[in-house]
Structure 1
Amino acid sequence: KIPLETRYAQTAQWWRDFQNRSWILLSEVPNSAKAQEAKPQNHPLWTLSAHDLRIGVDSDGKNRFLGQIESVEIFRNKKDGTPEESLFSRMDLSPQSIPGSDSWNVADGWTMRAKLRLKDPTCWQRIFDKLTSGRQNGFLADVTPNGSLRVICGEETIFFDEQLPTDRAFELMLEFDQKGLFKVKVDGQELFFPESTSRVSDAFRITRGYTLQRYLQACAGRGNYAIKFNGSLFTIPAEGRPDYADYRRWGTGYWWQNTRLPYYTMNASGDFDLQKPLWKQYASLLPLMKHRVKKYFGPNAEGAYFAECLYFWGDVFPEAYGTTPWNEKDDPLQNSRWHKWEFVGGLELAFMALDYWEFTQDEQFLRETAIPLADEITKFFGSFYRVDPKTGKLDMTPSQVAETWWDCSDPMTEIAGLYAVLPRLLALEERFTTPEQRAVWKALLARIPPIPAWVDPEGTKRLAPARTFASKHNCETCELYCVFPFRLAAVGKEDAPIPFQLRFGGKKDAKETTSADILAWENEKAQTADHAQLMAYAKNALEKRWDHGAYDWRYDDIIMAYLGETESAKEYLITRSKRTCRDQRFPAYWAPPFSWTPDQCHGAVLMAALQGLIMQTDGEQILLLPAFPSDWNAEFKLHAPKNTVVSGTIKAGKLVDWNVSPESRRKDVRILGGTK
């Protein structure tokens, strides 16, 4: 038996060591320049839109206040924040605009007071409104469908927990000061203020999200199995749900597209021990995956693939596969079309295993895990798909692009994965591989189709989800898999050889696509592309992507960092950091729309994107400040390939001090951003 004091000391030491491995600490650059500017002529929040102030109605004439507006008073504030001159005062109002109010000068702030009596607090009802409906170019206060108060102030949206009175009249008061801070009072009682940019800086919130997400990953990352994305270890009683405290939306199995995300953060943070359960779980399934391929496709079939949805013992979810045994089906693959021909997960696993080798230089892992995984997974594609005699390349049909695009040929996801994995296998020292393996990899690489691109209806050349694609079903940005996760297109690769060509195809539209279009795509020749063209096509695809969002497993933020899109990545990180769960007190219990709280995808994307702003690696190359904002400071300590540690200080977007260990790696460091 270990004494309590000893256990406590060992635990405390483990966490100290864990925190000392790695960190990112952001702060915001004091805006001294603005402080020295002349006082603005009017309050910036008031002038965000040209609307007059409205009472009880929005800019579209909707969301009208259904109860009684007994009185409204609006005052211009003094410099000390107290009300001064009355700008508006009226009793018994109906919903209306206040003509000329847009020109009011409220540079020192203003106070709004309304006496209200609610009716039917089950729908949105405006109280004060000075913005364009659906945008955040001003401010508003309104009643939510659950009878509480919402305030929008510029880019910030605040939901207050307190219920507004329904059995009597009450007074609502909002006080805005000259700095944009504000207070909300109901019957003179100031409401508890949820977190907002008015109280907490963006840099602090992102730092806290990064630190606490890494803490959660450490809590859940040392068991026998990979981290569960939908609740981790911390599921709590879910009233009204089956299984109560054990309930998880999306079930008890592993979905690869979600499971992977925390592990993309762990090399840079130096958390190599937290990855061991992932490798143990998936590598232990490799014999079963090989056996499955031969059972499904015949004794001459080779390789292995990992289905998207697996239990930890290797079975596909019955909801996906169906309940009919494989040998009683015409098609041995799963019934569900959501992942039927989605084979990219194994390629990601192989790519991540090679990353782990590069960072740790663990030769045993390379020989026993990384190479066997990558060898069998790549071998599957050469066995499953046949060569098109017209092109000499694999005809990767049938296929799909993650869950999003069905009815595809030559999918970006799998093609990018093969181009990312095979050259890395061939680049390994020959002592780790056999001549037979290298010959197979080289032959397969020569048969991989070109990366897909297309010319969209507006005439823009951009990367495509597949050479031909149709039938969209989800919202993944999988046309950019060659950026994330596979880093074929990214900043700092200007001099790297491009091991592929591009081939233009198109989106099959039932109404507009003709047989001539399809024939033209079939006859389209592959063409070379330089780094500048590839980056341009990738940025076009990012700008014109079908879906957007800084939440849950959406990885827009990481793509932006890898493409050097600094301001977009910063904006998405700020938005992501604010999406905490209103019903949970712990700030890293994120509130995603898709998964289950505490969701592990949302915070993991935040971590990976923030790491990518400061440091990206490509082989032996270490790229510093590839996309770091000029109005942030940072202290950081991150890990790079070959057991390298990089630390430094960034001030106003410039690297003012940095160190690398071992010193021999200094020659491999490129600083892409500013220096002092």
Structure 2
Amino acid sequence: MTKILFLLSMLFCGTAFAQADPSYNIVWHSPSDHAGASMPCGGGDIGMNVWVEKGELLIYAARSGSFDEHNGLMKAGRLRIRLTPNPFEGEDFRQELHLQEGYVSISGKHKGTQATVQIWADVHQPVAHISIKSNQQIKVDAGYESWRYRDRAVASRENFGNSWKWAAPKNNIIRKDSVTFEKGGVLFVHHNSDSTIFDATVAQQQLQPVKDSLYNPLKKLAFGGLFYGDAFIPSGTYEGVYANTDFKGWRLISKQAAKSHQLHLALHTAQTNDVSAWRQTLQKLTVTDKRSATLNRQWWQAFWQRSFIEIDPGKKDSTAWQVGRNYQLFRYMLACNAYGNWPTKFNGGLLTVDPVYTDTAMKLTPDYRNWGGGLHTMQNQRLVYFPMIRSGDWDMMQAHFEFYYRIQRTAELRSKVYWNHDGACFTEQMENFGLPNFAEYGQKRPAGYDPGMEFNAWLEYEWDTVLEFCLMMLERQRYTGKLDPRTIPFIESCLQFFDEHYQYLARKRGSKALDGNGKLVLYPGSAAETYKMAYNASSTIAALTTVTKGLVNVLANDTARLKWQQFLQRIPPIAYTQIDGHTTIAPAKSWERINNVESPQLYPVFPWGMYGVGKPGLDTALNTWHQDTSVIKFRSHVGWKQDNIWAARLGLREEAWRLTALKLQNSSRRFPAFWGPGFDWAPDHNWGGSGMIGLQEMLLQTDGDRILLFPGWPGDKDVHFKLHAPRQTTVEATLKDGKVVYLQVEPATEAHRVEVMLK
């Protein structure tokens, strides 16, 4: 591999533009058969699935944070719109996702009637808009449809969509919403009771003495909204069945035929004892700023100028071109929750539909998704958020940082109540209120079993995924120069847990808190969910080492810096092993069983960056990739698998491209970025996120202050990209026919850090 340090003056040839390529817009020339063939649309924290079926426009809407008593993430409902005369019953049809401006348009022509519908969600406030324009006067029939119009018994499997999973109480009920005609529209609201699954979980996990100090986002939570139109009036109700689920509809009709109609969906979520207060705030959202459409499009244009990747432009529909296009499409899907109070969920985000279109056996309501709504699985969530670093989407990352800040006190109370030591104990699967999942905690626990532990073969002793979000917080400081004042105490609390807890466990076994070399004994531990009852798991050691070094670098207080430098000395070394005469990274010093199909022996490569292109020990990491039989056996592109990322960081250009292309090629669904279900659900957001990370790592990696371009990129693929690097730096480059023809580094004073690495 040849390293060349390029001078910018030699590379300013040609012109590049930062934008969403118009050819990446998704265009359909025929209606869809069902919701599974829908198109995403969204913004702010509203996600919608849009499709036309049998001449009717249908929209599923969802908003971040709409959790019911069982902690399911509930949809806002379904909209059904019919035009008369109907332009969508003819053969002239077009549905398009306009990436650059962030909206969906649908147009049709039938027997002289032409109409275009535009659907978009306001980035700046939780309101979605539907604008209808036609060449002649038409009438509009608009229905709000709810399957929660009645109390509904929860099917056994359906509890996997909330936080009960297999441990739900008998005769579990999803309480009905209140739906009424009001203020010229349809007002709908679900108001949680005082008692929720939070209360059952606290009691189960023996935390009643500190219950009042625990964060509870479910109590008295009200979510819902108002569906209304300019010059629309109520027109009764109707009933029906869609995709095996019965529903009730509330109909609005236009007062008169016209060439222009406007419909709106305002959504509001808040904890309140008084629903009338919730209604008052909702009402304020119905006052629309005339500038909102313009401001919205400006936001989307600025969003695409932050970052992009375009591959083999001009070779439309080739696999390479699809990979670049689908990268952009998935980034758009992530931006549908740019400003939510809650993170984007790995298992579909806000864009799930009737489960029967993911698994034909799942004849359940549209609220269902596998692996819960308020339950967050951090091994999956991290892959949704890591790509936002290189794309510069720090505003989109904030929701997950806030998620952790809110529950820090709960995590610290767990340590204090159960073990009487300090530090924040975060588990791998974790509710939005910070406790382990009710079912995964274990229903048949042995007498005297540690109440702070999950009695669970997959999740026991797996505590280190929070450190990946600590890394993201530290990366924000490296990339932007900004440090949230909550970050340092948060990271310190996370590290303190490992220091104090493993000394606590060692003292329970014997008289010494450290081993003979003065190191922590990280036992029992867990290398991801795979290598269980591990002794000194390499993934945990790499995490502790990298995060602690990052913390030391940002500390201004000498006393604090010394404290964590001393902690660094207590972290044990990574274990190695020999395979056919080759030194490889071991998953741990020892382990008792293999429980899953992950390869944590490569976590020191990603996410922890201890090995990689241009770094010492690359041969050891390569040996691990090539020689470890479990690594080879588990290798895949499906779902949350991250082999493509490791290949890129190891400089394995062809393998990185092969695996990343498999991830980001067109999905089996009509919308090309609706991958999955993989191991989880559809659309599989950790499938898309790991694909994004791999593609970014092929193009740009960093090693300290060094910026490495094309360290994992095959030279036969043309590419134009803009990505972010530390020290408030962006790099835009074009590679054509194996040569760099354009390179711009902002600010220009950082150009000396760039090294172009091509075969």
What TM-score bracket applies, with the shorter chain setting the length?
0.5 to 0.7
- Opposite residue 322 of structure 1, the aligned amino acid is G
**1:209·1:587 contact (CA, 8 Å) conserved in 2?**
yes
Name the counterpart of 1:394. Answer: 520
Residues 546-602 of structure 1 show CA distances to partners (whole Å, capped at 9, x for unaligned) of 311011100000000011110000111222223613xx3211110232111111011
Q: Give the distance between the partners of 1:361 and 1:286, measured in 2 at CA.
A: 24
Residues 64-100 of structure 1 show CA distances to partners (whole Å, capped at 9, x for unaligned) of xxxxxxxxxxxxxxxxxxxxxxxxxxxxxxxxxxxxx
Name the counterpart of 2:367. Answer: 246
Name the counterpart of 2:695. Answer: 610
Given candidates 296, 299, 314, the residue that maps to 1:11 is 296
Q: Which runs of 5+ in 2 are unaligned?
A: 1-285, 504-512
Q: Give the distance between the partners of 1:238 and 1:534, measured in 2 at CA.
A: 41
- Opposite residue 740 of structure 2, the aligned amino acid is L
- Opposite residue 241 of structure 1, the aligned amino acid is M
Q: Give the distance between the partners of 1:262 and 1:330, measured in 2 at CA.
A: 33
- Opposite residue 562 of structure 1, the aligned amino acid is R
Residues 366-410 of structure 1 show CA distances to partners (whole Å, capped at 9, x for unaligned) of x322x1222111111111113443232111111111111112111
**2:583·2:620 contact (CA, 8 Å) conserved in 1?**
no
* Equivalent position SS for 1:639: strand
Residues 158-210 of structure 1 show CA distances to partners (whole Å, capped at 9, x for unaligned) of xxxxxxxxxxxxxxxxxxxxxxxxxxxxxxxxxxxxxxxxx931111101110
Q: Report the CA distance shift for 1:620/1:305 in structure 2 as closer, same or farther (over 3 A).
A: farther
Q: Give the distance between the partners of 1:393 and 1:219, measured in 2 at CA.
A: 46
Residue 645 of structure 1 and its aligned partner are, at CA, apart by 1.1
* Equivalent position SS for 1:344: coil
- Opposite residue 481 of structure 1, the aligned amino acid is Y
Name the counterpart of 1:478. Answer: 600
Q: Give the distance between the partners of 1:585 and 1:531, measured in 2 at CA.
A: 41
Residue 3 of structure 1 and its aligned partner are, at CA, apart by 4.3
Name the counterpart of 1:358. Answer: 478
- Opposite residue 369 of structure 2, the aligned amino acid is R
Name the counterpart of 2:379. Answer: 257
Name the counterpart of 1:597. Answer: 682
Q: Give the distance between the partners of 1:348 and 1:640, measured in 2 at CA.
A: 18
Q: Give the distance between the partners of 1:243 and 1:671, measured in 2 at CA.
A: 52
Q: Give the distance between the partners of 2:292 and 2:638, measured in 1 at CA.
A: 38
Residues 271-298 of structure 1 show CA distances to partners (whole Å, capped at 9, x for unaligned) of 1110110111112111111111111111
What is the root-mean-square deviation in Å for CA atoms of aligned residues?
2.3
**1:358·1:619 contact (CA, 8 Å) conserved in 2?**
no
- Opposite residue 749 of structure 2, the aligned amino acid is S
Residue 440 of structure 1 and its aligned partner are, at CA, apart by 2.1
Residues 201-257 of structure 1 show CA distances to partners (whole Å, capped at 9, x for unaligned) of 111110111000100000023211011111110111224637511111112210001
Name the counterpart of 1:368. Answer: 486
Name the counterpart of 2:635. Answer: 548
Q: Report the CA distance shift for 1:264/1:403 in structure 2 as closer, same or farther (over 3 A).
A: same
Alignment of 1:8-407 (within 5 A): 8-27=293-312, 200-239=317-356, 241=362, 244-252=365-373, 253-298=375-420, 301-322=421-442, 329-363=449-483, 365=484, 367-369=485-487, 371-386=488-503, 387-407=513-533
- Opposite residue 306 of structure 2, the aligned amino acid is R
Q: Which runs of 5+ in 1 are unaligned?
A: 31-198, 495-529
* Equivalent position SS for 2:355: coil
Alignment of 1:493-512 (within 5 A): 493-494=615-616
Q: Does 1:559 align with 2:559?
A: no
Which sits farther off after the overlay, 480-489 or 339-348?
339-348
Residues 463-520 of structure 1 show CA distances to partners (whole Å, capped at 9, x for unaligned) of 11111123111111111010011110011224xxxxxxxxxxxxxxxxxxxxxxxxxx
Q: Give the distance between the partners of 1:460 and 1:614, measured in 2 at CA.
A: 29
**1:591·1:599 contact (CA, 8 Å) conserved in 2?**
yes
Residue 29 of structure 1 and its aligned partner are, at CA, apart by 10
Q: Report the CA distance shift for 1:436/1:337 in structure 2 as closer, same or farther (over 3 A).
A: farther
**2:534·2:590 contact (CA, 8 Å) conserved in 1?**
yes
Q: Give the distance between the partners of 2:529 and 2:377, measured in 1 at CA.
A: 12
Q: Report the CA distance shift for 1:560/1:13 in structure 2 as closer, same or farther (over 3 A).
A: same
**2:522·2:535 contact (CA, 8 Å) conserved in 1?**
yes
- Opposite residue 727 of structure 2, the aligned amino acid is K
Name the counterpart of 2:610. Answer: 488
Name the counterpart of 1:447. Answer: 570
Query: What's the TM-score once normalised by structure 1's chain length?
Result: 0.65
**2:612·2:621 contact (CA, 8 Å) conserved in 1?**
no
- Opposite residue 621 of structure 1, the aligned amino acid is R
**1:401·1:466 contact (CA, 8 Å) conserved in 2?**
yes
Q: Report the CA distance shift for 1:308/1:389 in structure 2 as closer, same or farther (over 3 A).
A: closer
Q: Give the distance between the partners of 2:684 and 2:368, measured in 1 at CA.
A: 13
Identity of aligned residues (%): 32
Q: Report the CA distance shift for 1:541/1:672 in structure 2 as closer, same or farther (over 3 A).
A: farther
Q: Give the distance between the partners of 2:394 and 2:440, measured in 1 at CA.
A: 32
Higher relative contact order (Cα pairs below 8 Å, separated by 6+ residues)? 2
- Opposite residue 558 of structure 1, the aligned amino acid is I
Equivalent pairs, count:
460
Q: Report the CA distance shift for 1:322/1:256 in structure 2 as closer, same or farther (over 3 A).
A: same
Residue 537 of structure 1 and its aligned partner are, at CA, apart by 4.6
**1:539·1:563 contact (CA, 8 Å) conserved in 2?**
no
**2:378·2:466 contact (CA, 8 Å) conserved in 1?**
no
**1:29·1:633 contact (CA, 8 Å) conserved in 2?**
no
Q: Report the CA distance shift for 1:533/1:406 in structure 2 as closer, same or farther (over 3 A).
A: closer
Q: Give the distance between the partners of 2:320 and 2:463, measured in 1 at CA.
A: 38
**2:605·2:621 contact (CA, 8 Å) conserved in 1?**
no
* Equivalent position SS for 1:672: strand
Residue 620 of structure 1 and its aligned partner are, at CA, apart by 2.5
- Opposite residue 248 of structure 1, the aligned amino acid is R
Q: Report the CA distance shift for 1:283/1:465 in structure 2 as closer, same or farther (over 3 A).
A: same
Q: Give the distance between the partners of 2:482 and 2:597, measured in 1 at CA.
A: 37
Name the counterpart of 1:466. Answer: 588
Q: Give the distance between the partners of 1:648 and 1:227, measured in 2 at CA.
A: 30
Residue 302 of structure 1 and its aligned partner are, at CA, apart by 2.0
Residue 19 of structure 1 and its aligned partner are, at CA, apart by 1.0
Q: Give the distance between the partners of 1:440 and 1:326, measured in 2 at CA.
A: 39
Larger radius of gyration: 1
Q: Give the distance between the partners of 2:500 and 2:605, measured in 1 at CA.
A: 27
- Opposite residue 486 of structure 2, the aligned amino acid is E
